[in-house]
Amino acid sequence: MSEILEKRKKQIRRKGAGPYEMTCEKHSLAGAVSQRACVFCGSRVVLYPIADALHLIHGPVGCAAYTWDIRGALSSGPQLHRRSFTTDLREQDVIHGGEKKLYQCLKELIAYYRPKAVFVYSTCIVGVIGDDVEAVCRQVSRETGLTVISVASEGFKGTKKDGYRAACRALSELVGTGDISSISPFSLNILGDFNIAGETWAIREYYRRMGIEVVSTITGDGRVEDIRRAHGARLNVVQCSGSMVHLAREMKEKYGIPYIHVSYFGLQDMSKALYDVAEFFQDAAAMQKARRLVREEIDRVLPELMRIRTDVQGKKAGIYTGGAFKAFSLVASLRMLGIRTAFVGSQTGSPDDYKRLEEFCDPGTIIVDDANTMELVRFSQETEIDLLIGGVKERPVAYKLGIGFCDHNHERKISLAGFEGMLHFAQEVHASVMSPVWKLIDRKNINVGNA
Amino acid sequence: MSSQMSTIFTATRNPCRMCTPLGAVMVFSGIADAVPFLHGSQGCSTYIRRYLIGHFREPVDIACSNFSESSVIFGGWQNLQAGIQTIIEQYHPQLIGIATTCLAETIGEDLPQMIRRLQNELPESGPILVSVSTPSYQGSHTDGFRRAVKAVVEKLAQDGPAGRHINVFSGMISPEDIRHLKDIFMDFGLDAMILPDYSDAFDSGIWSRYEKNIESGTAIESIRRCGQAQASIEFGSVGDASASAGDALLRRFGTPLYELAFPIGVRLNDIFFERLRMLSGCEVPSRYVGQRSRLIDSYVDAHKYVFGKKTVLYGPADWVAALAVFLDEIGMIPVLCAAADCTGKLKEYLAEHLGPDKAERIAVIEDTDFASIEEKAAALRPDILIGDSNGYKISRNLRVPLVRLGLPIHDRIGASRITALGYRGTQQLFDRIVNALLETQQDNSPVGYTRL
Ligand code: SF4
């Protein structure tokens, strides 16, 4: 069994193994095969679902190539976000600077695609070659009358989380610029849902059934005009604590709009989200509607969930997610199916997240920050899990070890949020752990490490 | 529409090129006991991993020096040093292949010098460090691939008594094609070194050991001998000669170099097999005579279904070139040949191999993007597209079938097992093309014949 690298030990924790604080929010160890991405990636994935904006990536081609149509974020209208635009800097641009090319690209693209706004993402080398992206954006804004926003997302300047922050800064340039006169007092913004496989639509429909107006969805199925009006809502409902909380905080300071945290994954968390919202508005009718909605929806999915539970209960799972918030809902959802979580980790959790996670999990559960492949292999084997939940990068590792896998990341094409989503999740889990193919593999005899 | 067509864009819209380090990573992954390492930003390595995983559906490990802001200000030496140490502790490799990202290049890191210094600090028994410069603002993933092969050969090749073995620089091909090439060489009795050989790293079975992932691939010992080989074969005739490993060996050791097109179709395979016949001194083994004959027989069976069909080809220039020759021999018309990379030689190649008249009628674009391909293709009304998965949207919009070939294929299973090389590989490709055309014909027919 390969050893955990000495320098990584403080980022791994076993529940019940004595008190000490988890080290996290650290820069990844040089040389380690981390699962983490960059600042640019953080900004890009958050802003990407705004469907009527043009997203231009300023830098060499790679960053744009790898993020083209990267997420399953759906739009009910324009599809401009699913294209990949880049200034594709070449050697000459690197030597002489890319401002002229950026200007040229913007002018041409705006004239042709007529977007509602433009986001310009700076990637790694842009700051190094000294381009004044802000200035170019301002100039193009002046000349075209369009909002052109510079997103300072140079890859190396922090972690994916810093990318979220940069994205929120960009969004706050839009918020507060639209007309809010007609907005209902029972109104909210959905923050931090990205409409993967139509999830935002489902959530939005729940709120509609409760009689609450959704002013904007940031950013799933997002529209520039809606975001401009977001400050007219009475409440911000924030999912995914990592990516959108900066915007919520800023809107609270600037416009006095309170925010609450929710998760839409799992029956429990989903119901709680609706109740919390109804409670916030202190509206008996809304609460009543929420109760009825929850009852109806749970009645619809529960029989099937229970049937699945009889098949899968007693299995063990490992979880590795991007943000830590998702891990909570996953542990709870698995519990509901009778599956115990043996280890859980995230790329970007905060000390607080890990502390709460530890309280929430069963004794013996391993908790890990910024895991590398070797560690995931090790934990998977050591804890003899039947199922790994993670992103695309984790999938082949699980499969090689003969372990089932569920994608809980943003590239999936199946909605997992809401009541219906829980059913999909259970079906996914079921198809993974019940498949007869694992019988052909002797998991115990896969010899991992320096044997 | 016509005014739209004439718009010229400075921006790249829906890129065809992936970045240079991706190619280098593939090469280092195909060497036994080697680990690929990116010097620069972490995001790139994660993206490249994700991309390759999406294609091969296999674990891909890429280490990275994980630059922070201070590395950009003070240089990446410390990160490199620490990173290499971490990799040695964790993987015990015999070789570490280090490619730069655009960031390291832009801040002016002198990687070769740093590598020399690091190598001196390592014990004798430590890994060999090979570096290659791959800023993504210079060329495409195919260029990165070629540069890395060349860097490995330049670092490892040694002088010595001439042998009968041969070197094969087979370029960016599928694991199954690599396996097929190995069979062919074996059947000719040729001792061939294929570099890189990621046929196992990117297409392995269920693990029996984790290390297997780095153990498989071209043996370092065989790369050392490549200066003593009787000849080198290098696929991809339209590539950049200055980045050719075969050319480097020719200059340094006088090893004869045979630059061949990817052996796709009868004509190009005949050239390839003739070369093997001469190098081995053996007649073409009967199984290949049989494969060739069956391939031609299937051409005859299906010739009417493919004749005159207009095809849009896109991908790396060297692939597009070979595919165009193959399509021409079965009577299909490559109406558009779009290269992701920029060689400046594709047009010339087609004129030479298809004749100037035919070449004249082919639209050739290099260094292009998918938005441009779509705009051109729409005007040409093709019957079929051949290329990677990124062309799917074009295929959907134009309602023509797409035969998936190349990288990435991330919307289908089995990218590793797609073959195109040799008579046998061509057979698979040919069948897929014909069946895609038949399926479309069937789907579009109001009658829905069950026999075609
Ligand atoms: S790390 Fe930098 S160069 Fe790499 S993908 Fe991120 S922004 Fe692009």
Residue A429: in which H helix or E strand, if any?
A: helix A418-433
Of A64, A402, A451, nearest to B15 by CB-CB distance is A64
**Under a CB-based contact definition with an 8 Å cutoff, are residues B311 and B333 in contact?**
yes
The reply to whether B214 touches chain A by the CB within 8 Å rule is no
SS3 per residue for chain B: CHHHHCCCCCCEECECCCCHHHHHHHHHHCECCEEEEEECCHHHHHHHHHHHHHHHCCCCCCEECCCCHHHHHHCCHHHHHHHHHHHHHHHCCCEEEEEECHHHHHCCCCHHHHHHHHHHHCCCCCCEEEEECCCCCCCCHHHHHHHHHHHHHHHHCCCCCCCCCEEEECCCCCHHHHHHHHHHHHHCCCCEEECCCCCCCCCCCCCCECCHHHHCCECHHHHHHHHHCCEEEEECCCCCHHHCHHHHHHHHHCCCEEEECCCCHHHHHHHHHHHHHHHHCCCCCHHHHHHHHHHHHHHHHHHHHHCCCEEEEEECHHHHHHHHHHHHHCCCEEEEEEECCCCCCHHHHHHHHHCHHHHHCCEEECCCEHHHHHHHHHHHCCCEEEECHHHHHHHHHHCCCEEECCCCCCCCCCHHHCCCCHHHHHHHHHHHHHHHHHHHHHHHCCCCCCCC
Ligand 1 centroid from CA B437, angstroms: 40
Region B299-326: mean pLDDT is 97
Task: Decide if A158 touches B, using CB distance below 8 A.
Answer: yes
Q: Which is higher by pLDDT, A242 or A341? A: A341
> Over chain A, what is the mean pLDDT?
90
In this predicted structure, what is the pLDDT of residue A12? 75
Residue B36 has pLDDT above 50, yes or no: yes
CA angle A128, B37, B245 (to 5 degrees): 100
For ligand 1, atom 3: residue with the closest CA: A124
Ligand 1 near B43 CB (within 6 A)? yes
Q: Please state the rounded mean pLDDT for residues A203-226.
A: 97
CA A143 – CA A110 distance, rounded (Å): 11
Residue A376: its pLDDT value, please? 85
Residues of B in contact with A374 (CB under 8 A): 90, 210
Q: Which of A1, A8, A29, A33 to mutate to test the interface with B (most CBs of B within 10 A)?
A: A33
Which one-letter DSSP state was computed for residue A197?
T
pLDDT at B4: 45
Q: What is the pLDDT of residue B3?
A: 40
| A9 in contact with B, Cβ within 8 Å | no
Is the per-residue pLDDT at B206 higher than 60? Answer: yes
Please check the confidence at residue B238 and state whether its pLDDT lies above 90: no
Look at residue A451 in the predicted model and tell me its pLDDT.
33
> B103: nearest CA in chain A?
A125
Provide the terminal-to-terminal Cα distance of chain B, rounded to the nearest Å.
37
pLDDT tens column, A169-190: 999 999 999 999 999 999 999 9
Whether the predicted pLDDT of A281 surpasses 60: yes
Which residues of chain A lie closer than 8 angstroms to B209, CB-CB?
446-448, 451
Ligand 1 close to Cβ of residue A124 (< 6 A): yes
Q: Give the distance from residue B83's alpha carbon to the nearest chain A alpha carbon, in angstroms.
A: 3
Residue B47 has pLDDT above 60, yes or no: yes
Contact between residue B208 and residue B112 where contact means Cβ atoms under 8 Å apart = no
Q: Please, which pLDDT band fits residue A300 given cuts at 50, 70 and 90?
A: very high
Whether the pLDDT of residue A450 is over 50: the answer is no
CA-angle at B184, arms to B230 and B287, nearest 5°: 135
Say which DSSP state A383 is in. T
Q: What is the mean pLDDT of residues B398-413?
A: 96
Strand order through the sheet with B231-235: B192-194, B166-169, B231-235, B257-260
Judge whether A15 is closer than 8 Å to chain B, CB to CB: no
A435 in reach of chain B (CB within 8 A): no
Is a pLDDT exceeding 80 seen at residue A323?
no
Q: Rounded distance, CA A145 to CA B268, Å?
A: 57
CB-CB under 8 Å, B53 with A396:
yes
Selected for mutation to probe chain A from B13, B37, B118 (highest A CB count within 10 Å) is: B13
Q: What is the pLDDT of residue A409?
A: 77
Counting residues of chain A whose pLDDT is more than 90, the rounded percentage is 72
Count of residues making up chain A? 451
- A103 close to B (CB below 8 A): no
Q: Which residue of A has its CA nearest to B16?
A: A65
Cβ atoms of A358 and A367 closer than 8 Å: yes
Does the beta-carbon distance from A124 to B85 stay under 8 Å?
A: no
Ligand 1 touching residue A40 (CB < 6 A): yes
Q: Distance, CA A96 to ligand 1 centroid (Å)?
A: 20
Residue A210 DSSP SS3: coil
Which strands make up the sheet holding A117-122, listed edge to edge? A148-151, A117-122, A53-58, A85-86, B12-13
Ligand 1 atom with the smallest distance to the CA of B136 is 3
Write the ipTM. 0.93
Q: What does pLDDT average to over chain B?
A: 94
Check residue B328 and give its pLDDT.
98
Q: Does A40 touch chain B (CB under 8 A)?
A: yes
Count of CB atoms within 10 A of residue A150's CB?
Answer: 24
Dihedral (C-alpha) A151, A155, A157, A159: value to the nearest 10 degrees?
A: 100
Tokens (6 digits) for A104: 């040229």
d(CA A376, CA A401): 11
B335-B336-B340 Cα angle (round to 5): 160
Name the band, by pLDDT with cuts 50, 70 and 90, for residue B107. Answer: very high
Mean pLDDT of B310-320: 97
Q: Judge if the beta carbon of residue A38 lies within 6 A of ligand 1.
A: yes
Q: Which residues of A touch B79 (CB under 8 A)?
A: 30
* Cβ neighbours of B135 in A, within 8 Å: 60, 91, 94
The whole-number pLDDT of residue A127 equals 87
Percent of chain B residues topping a pLDDT of 70: 97
